[in-house]
């Protein structure tokens, strides 16, 4: 019986076929994948841009504020590309 890729031993026998490598985490534990602080900063910048753009469309629409939100999203995307955000893929 294997759950979440973690090997369990029942009566001293391995439950995974020979030759497979198993991770040994305590029962119920999962590996932590929080990302880097720069990745979170990129996410916050992009969310702020979407929020500004969305708010601009609901109050008017105020096109100058909408395009400001688009600019913030672009800056966030460039920041993410510069800090290699796609390297955080697990």
pLDDT tens per residue, range 44-72: 999 999 999 999 999 989 999 999 999 99
**What's the domain range around 26?**
1-31
- Residues listed for the chain: 90
Res. 34: pLDDT tops 80: no
Tell whether 38 and 27 lie within a shared domain.
Answer: no
Tell whether 59 and 77 lie within a shared domain.
Answer: yes
Tell whether 53 and 90 lie within a shared domain.
Answer: yes
Tell whether 51 and 62 lie within a shared domain.
Answer: yes
Helices (H), 1-90: 37-58, 63-82
This prediction's pTM: 0.63
How far is the first Cα of the chain from the last one, in angstroms, to the nearest whole number?
25
**Overall domain count for the chain:** 2
Tell whether 86 and 45 lie within a shared domain.
Answer: yes
């Amino acid at each position: 019986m294997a759950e979440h890729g973690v090997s369990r031993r029942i009566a001293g026998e391995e439950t995974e076929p020979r030759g497979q490598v198993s991770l040994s985490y305590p029962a119920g534990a999962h590996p932590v994948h929080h990302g880097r602080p720069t990745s979170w900063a990129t996410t916050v910048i992009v969310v702020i841009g979407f929020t500004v753009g969305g708010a601009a469309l609901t109050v008017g629409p105020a096109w100058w504020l909408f395009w400001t939100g688009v600019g913030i999203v672009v800056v966030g995307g460039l920041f993410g590309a510069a800090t290699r955000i796609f390297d955080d893929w697990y």
